């Protein structure tokens, strides 16, 4: 068995070899790098994120600038630590500009598959990497480029050896061909992003997340739960669960915000070698935005389906007696970034709101799904990770 570096589950390389028609060493490479995962007996391909594609284009352009070589494939280190090869092509010489066409994957709703992501490399006197946004890269509501810190860090890490070797800095400008038009097919506008797509990627690879794939992944992961399953909505939360809260990796299940799929599966049960495994209790850990939706009864928390964060936060502030803050939120309106607003609250107020949110979720899941539920919310603040738990979490969490 090899271990999937993203989901952290064992995968049989012989299954990958058989399904993809590759030799065994290639199958092991695909698993170790995270380029494939499984859904039951199905093998699913992952593809590079926009951040990984931007990194590959930046590296190809920088190699041309500093070494005079035109490369067709570059090796890119992913945030998960694996190294993959990404095809790139040089499209301009002065200054060197390279392009990567974002490969597809088995996520049938990846709107950015096929996007042409470019990077221009120019010398910089200071020995550092400066990342800028060009045409087709979106802008956040405050005007900053929609290039995540994880993507910036990935670019800097992959270009660091060139900085050290040649003693010069690099200015990298990322752009996306027809990015503004492409953004119309994404959810960028829901987050106040305008003018193009986001350059993102905390893992470096896009997970397949069709509904069938999500449900299959949940079923698969539940097979390995040893204690109480803990539902999380992404790999950042998975790391908080395991590294900050000390939950066993095998007990953490990434439901990708699809509580409507995950909670019924707990009662229905999943097949194991010893029969059917069913659960009567569950832990839910998440960031405030997802949990505020869940507290309002939204079990599919994907933004394309529903968004009750603002209304739910407003209700929680009123319920907990923080009327001045509720009035302040009401004046800002539905476009308010919930996490940012929460950080402006007094810590005691924030704790009251998040604790009330957790309590409502615990009660709702018990009533709607007949599952004993413990809920915890976490928020990244200047002082680190702030975790607030409901009463049942403290009883059920190991």
User: pLDDT (tens digit, 9 = 90+) per residue, 111-128?
Assistant: 788 999 999 999 999 999
Burial of 62 (0-12, 13-18, 19+ CB in 10 A): buried
Q: Which of 77-91, 153-167, 241-255 has the lowest mean pLDDT?
A: 241-255
Least confident window among 136-150, 210-224, 288-302, 351-365: 210-224
Please report the pLDDT score of residue 26 as a whole number.
Answer: 96
pTM recorded for the entire structure: 0.62
pLDDT, position 231: 96
Question: Is the distance from CB of 316 to CB of 292 less than 8 angstroms?
Answer: yes
Closest CA to 253 of 244, 266, 243: 266
The residues spanned by each domain of the chain are 2-45, 50-205, 209-396
| Secondary structure of residue 71 in the 3-state scheme | coil
Top-confidence range, 39-48, 183-192, 248-257, 299-308: 248-257
Task: Compute the average pLDDT of residues 13-26.
Answer: 94
Least confident span in 17-31, 179-193, 265-279: 179-193
Q: What is the largest CA-CA distance in the chain?
A: 66
- Residue 214 is predicted with a pLDDT of 75
CATH architecture of 50-205: 2-Layer Sandwich (3.30)
| Percent above pLDDT 90 for the chain | 70
| pLDDT above 70 coverage of the chain, percent | 96
What pLDDT shows up at residue 109? 59
């Amino acid at each position: 068995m090899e271990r999937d570096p993203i989901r952290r589950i064992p995968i049989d390389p012989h299954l990958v070899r058989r399904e993809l028609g590759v030799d065994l060493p290639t199958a092991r490479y695909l698993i170790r790098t995270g380029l494939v995962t499984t859904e039951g007996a199905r093998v699913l391909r992952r593809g590079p994120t926009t951040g990984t594609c931007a990194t590959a284009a930046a590296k190809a352009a920088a190699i041309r600038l500093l070494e005079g070589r035109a490369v067709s494939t570059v090796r890119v280190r992913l945030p998960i630590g694996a190294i993959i090869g990404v095809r790139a092509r040089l499209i301009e010489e002065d200054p060197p500009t390279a392009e990567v066409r974002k490969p597809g994957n088995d996520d049938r709703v990846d709107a950015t598959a096929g996007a042409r992501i470019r990077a221009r490399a120019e010398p910089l006197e200071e020995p550092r990497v400066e990342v800028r946004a060009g045409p087709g890269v979106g802008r956040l509501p405050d005007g900053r480029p929609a290039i995540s810190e994880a993507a910036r860090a990935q670019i800097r890490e992959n270009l660091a050896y060139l900085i050290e070797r040649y003693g010069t800095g690099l200015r990298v400008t990322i752009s996306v061909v027809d990015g503004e038009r492409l953004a119309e097919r994404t959810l960028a506008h829901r987050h106040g992003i305008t003018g193009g797509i986001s350059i993102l990627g905390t893992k470096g690879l896009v997970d397949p997340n069709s509904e069938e794939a999500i449900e299959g992944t949940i079923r698969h992961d539940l097979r390995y739960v040893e204690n109480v399953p803990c539902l999380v909505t992404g790999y950042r939360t998975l790391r908080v669960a395991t590294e900050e809260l000390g939950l066993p990796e095998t007990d953490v299940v990434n439901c990708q915000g699809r509580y409507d799929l995950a909670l019924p599966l707990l009662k229905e049960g999943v097949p194991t070698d010893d029969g059917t495994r069913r659960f009567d209790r569950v832990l839910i850990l998440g960031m405030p935005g997802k949990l505020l939706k869940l507290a309002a009864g939204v079990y599919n928390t994907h933004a394309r389906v529903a968004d009750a964060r603002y209304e739910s936060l407003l209700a929680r502030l009123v319920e907990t007696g923080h009327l001045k803050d509720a009035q302040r939120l009401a004046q800002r309106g539905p476009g308010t970034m919930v996490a940012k607003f929460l950080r402006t609250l007094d810590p005691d107020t924030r704790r009251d709101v998040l604790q009330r949110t957790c309590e409502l979720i615990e009660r709702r899941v018990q009533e709607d799904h007949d599952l004993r539920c413990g809920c915890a919310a976490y928020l990244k603040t200047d002082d680190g990770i702030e975790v607030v738990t409901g009463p049942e979490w403290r009883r059920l969490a190991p």
